[in-house]
Structures are given as C-alpha cells and as structure tokens.
Amino acid sequence: MDLKSIHRVYFIGIGGIGMSALARYFRFINLPVAGYDKTKTPLTSELVETGISIHYEDNVQLIPASFQNKKSTLIVYTPAVSASHSEYQYFQNNGFVIKKRSEVLGLITKDSFCFAVAGTHGKTTTSCILAHLLKETGTPLTAFLGGISEDFYSNFLLEGTEYSVVEADEFDRSFLRLTPNVACITSMDADHLDIYGDAQALTNSFIDFTKRIKPGGTLFVRQGLPLEGITYGIEDDSDYCIHSITIEQGAYVFDLVAPNIALKGVRFAKPGRHNLLNGLVAFAMAIEAGSPPEHLARALGTFKGVQRRFSYKIHTPAFVFIDDYAHHPTEIDAVFDAIEEMHPNKKVLAVFQPHLFTRTRDFGNEFAKSLSKFDSVLLLEIYPARETPISGIDSDWLLRKMTNSSKKVVKKEAILAEIKAQNPDLLVTMGAGDIGLEIEKIKNELTYANELE
C-alpha cells in the first residue's frame, strides 16, 4: 500500500496510547482523521481538540460519511479490538484497506533511519529517553511513543523525518512489521501467554525480531539476555557500562564507559536501576545517530520522565506519592527496589489494580510474592481490558496468596478513605488499567488534606 494514495484515516480504538500517536501523526500532516473508542478519556479529549472526530458507541451509523469512501480511506485498528466489532466488520465486508497499527507504523518508518525499542518491560521509558536525547542534540526525528513524555507533553514528536523512534511491541507479534536500523531489547520475561502459549514461543518471537534489523544495522541487548549483540549493564563487563554510582539529591551520579567513551559525573534523575539501564541503552542508541557523547550525557541529566513511570505526584519530607504503570511481577519488583533505594525506612502502602484475567492467572504466585514485599496492599478488582472473566480468578483469589499482614480488596470509590485511614509515609499506585484515571483525584485530595494539617 502506498500511503500517498490515502486521503483520510479512520481509527478503531483511537484512544489507545499507540493508536493516538499515529492519529496525531496523520493529523499533523493535515489528513482528516476520525475514529471510535469505547471510553472517553483525557487523551481522546486532546485528540478532539486537534480537530479529530471521535464517537464512543460501536455504531456504523456514527462513522462520518466522508470516511466511507473505500478508495481514499485507510482503516487502522488495534489488535485489542474484537473481530466481532460491527464497525470493523463493516469496513472488512465492504473492501476497505484495513491495517493493524503496527503495519502502518512499519510503512511510515521504513524509509527513515529507524530506532526500535523492544522488550517486555522498559519500552516506553527507553523510547522517551531516546526521543529526548535526539531532540536535544538537534536530530531531525519523528517519535511514536507508548506514553506521555514529561519533556514534550505528548506521545508524538515530529522534528523531522530523517530518523524515527518507535516502540517495538511484542503483543500480537506486532514488532515483526518493523525494519529498524538500530534496535534494543531490554527484557524478555514471560508475558502475553494468552498470545504465545509459553515463554519459549515469546523468546522465539524476539529472535525473529532481531532478524528484522536492516543489513548493517545494530542490536543492543541487556547483559544476561540469551542474544548476540552489543551489551549494556551496570557494574559488569558490558560494552556500555555504568560504574561508581552515587545518589545525590535524589538523582544518580555515575561514570559511563563504552568503546572510545569515558564520561565521569553523568547525572540521571529517574529513580530505579531499571530506569538507569533504560537511560544507558537510549544513550548507546543515540550514539548511532552520530550525536556527540558529551551532549548526550548532558541531555540525560535533563530528562524529566514519562507519565505513570515512577512519577512523583507528591514529594514532601512528610509524605511521598508515586504512580507507576507496573502491571507485571518484574515491574512491581523494580518499583519496590527503587522505593527501597530512594526512600528507605518508609511505611509504604501499595494500591494495585491487576490487569487481565489471563496475566493474573498465569503469574498469580509471582504477583503475590512481589506484592507481599510492601508493608500494606490495597487490591482493586481485575481490569479486564479485552478479556472476559475467568471462573475462580479474581482479586480475592490473588489476595489469599499474599502474605502481607495488612491487605484488602477494595472498590475504587473506597481508595481515598483507606489511604487516609492507613496514613502511610509513602503511597504507590500501580497498574495498567483505568487506575490511571484516579491518580489526579487522589493527588488533589491528599494535597488538600496535607494542607489542612
């Protein structure tokens, strides 16, 4: 398909973080854009403000008439949308060009120098750091991100078309549509077993992804992964390596060593060794664009972060509130370790919303072990996303596996009362579902309560 023949674009599931970045791109190049999503959110409201028409009912009658010309309209859908979706079926039955989000992303970026960030954890933070570094060093790039960068308040950046930055998503094997020049793999922990069946099939898919790298391209892999590539790590023998870490005013200060590079006193302000690794591989990838190491090191120090990735919502001597997207046991462990390192000896309350019945079932014991590290846990009901309930799998089932002395399943409307009753030193909210829509309400209420004391 030639994108030049497309005159308008319709999205099924336009409110998703990856879909909305694509929608912003087509709007940016002045194509008419419209779409459907099941829920109105702050993100869909932002899209509407740019002139995009969105409706929230699966109803063919609500598709704007101008988007019903199959010769000039591209239909983009997310794999999270069911094949029984009536609008999807309408477009399919009437001969429209229908593409998955990943296919369109591959078409847009294939003629650019493409940086692709893959891994079961860390994709969004790494790609946002990389986009920030390239932007700060004047690289002409387009970035499609899986989160809202706190540096440019968007999941989309267009500073040119010579280079591109994309997340290489393993879900539904989407990353096999990409042909990057430079790629990294941050992790390959078992996940999406509803798609892959077992961990080996997931690993095989990552191996297939490495074969998508263009001839002469470069692959970076975290030290310890069973893949051949340029390695990166902390206090080891990696090709790109961080040494002599100290913490100063809540930020990491370290030395960075790589082939023909030796930098001292580099700063990075995002807590967590996992984020430090994300920053390191973003630095390594940016070197491949010809960016000067010293400039990149300075830019690392100015990276602000990504919304819902260890984001400080309240940070005072008396009380700390952190929000994170963590929805896998490995990610919860990383959040816990970062809290322990940056905020030792605090009484911590974790509020967690499990995401997907299958993920909760497949990793129930691992979730219980990770959550049991916290002093106290409030569990919300499982966020189903694209799934239907599984008999016997719910938050009460998970709670019974946990060993915390303080643990409880709560409704969303009861969160605030429970937080106030427990009066923790540090509150952390975690999950990939709609818990994110509660964060500002919690922050505002707790800020107000603290001001009254």
On whether the CB atoms of residues 68 and 34 are closer than 8 A, the answer is no
Same domain? 162 vs 295: yes
| Same domain membership, residue 14 and residue 55 | yes
User: Can you give the CATH number for the domain in which 291 is found?
Assistant: 3.40.1190.10
How many C-beta neighbours within 10 Å does residue 393 have?
Answer: 19
- Residue pair 205/217 in contact by the 8 Å Cβ criterion: no
246, amino acid identity: T
Pick from 268, 302, 336: which residue ends a domain? Answer: 302
Q: For position 193, what pLDDT does the model report?
A: 59
Residues 289 and 164 in one domain: yes
- At 330, which CATH number? 3.90.190.20
Residue 144's SS3 state is: strand
State whether 257 and 143 are in the same domain.
yes
Considering 247, 275, 302, which residue would you say is the last residue of a domain?
A: 302
Beta-strand relationship, 240-248 and 251-258? antiparallel
Rounded (10°) CA dihedral 452, 271, 118, 135:
90
pTM passes above 0.75? yes
Confidence (pLDDT) at 453: 46
Q: Looking at the structure, do residues 164 and 240 belong to the same domain, yes or no?
A: yes
How many domains are there within the chain? 3
Contact by Cβ (8 Å): 182, 285: yes
Question: In sequence order, what are the residues at sequence separation of 6 or more whose Cβ sits closer than 8 angstroms to the Cβ of residue 53?
Answer: 33, 34, 35, 64
How far is residue 151's CA from residue 131's CA, in Å, rounded to a whole number? 10
Q: Tell me: do 81 and 138 sit in the same domain.
A: no
Which range marks the domain in which residue 231 is found? Answer: 110-302
The angle, 0 to 180 degrees and rounded to 10, between the axes of the packed helices 415-422 and 439-452 is 40
Pair (143, 187) in one structural domain:
yes
Three-state DSSP at 204 gives: helix
Q: Digits of tens for pLDDT over the chain (453 positions)?
A: 567 778 999 999 999 999 999 999 999 999 999 999 998 988 999 999 999 999 999 999 999 999 998 989 999 998 878 888 999 999 999 999 999 988 899 999 989 999 999 998 899 999 999 999 999 999 999 999 999 999 999 999 999 999 999 999 887 788 888 999 999 999 987 676 566 677 788 888 899 999 999 999 999 999 999 999 999 999 999 999 999 999 998 899 999 999 999 999 999 999 999 999 999 999 999 999 999 999 999 999 999 999 989 999 999 999 999 999 999 999 999 999 999 999 999 999 999 999 999 999 999 999 999 999 999 999 999 999 878 899 999 999 999 999 999 999 999 999 999 999 999 999 999 999 999 989 999 999 898 555 544
Residues 335 and 295 in one domain: no
CB 37, CB 61: distance < 8 Å: no
Give the whole-angstrom CA distance, residue 342 versus residue 359.
Answer: 29
| Six token digits for residue 173 | 């094997």
Q: Are residues 359 and 289 in the same domain?
A: no
**Please, what sign has the CA dihedral across residues 434, 440, 444, 446?**
positive
Residue 319 is predicted with a pLDDT of 94
Check whether residue 404 and residue 290 sit in a common domain.
no
Task: Report d(CA 129, CA 149) in Å as an integer.
Answer: 9
CB 258 within 8 A of CB 266: no
What whole-number distance in Å separates Cα of residue 299 and Cα of residue 186? 21
Domain limit, last residue, from 40, 71, 101: 101
Are 220 and 336 found together in one domain? no
CATH number of the CATH domain containing 62: 3.40.50.720
Tokens for 127?
Answer: 């790609």
Do residue 336 and residue 212 come from a single domain? Answer: no
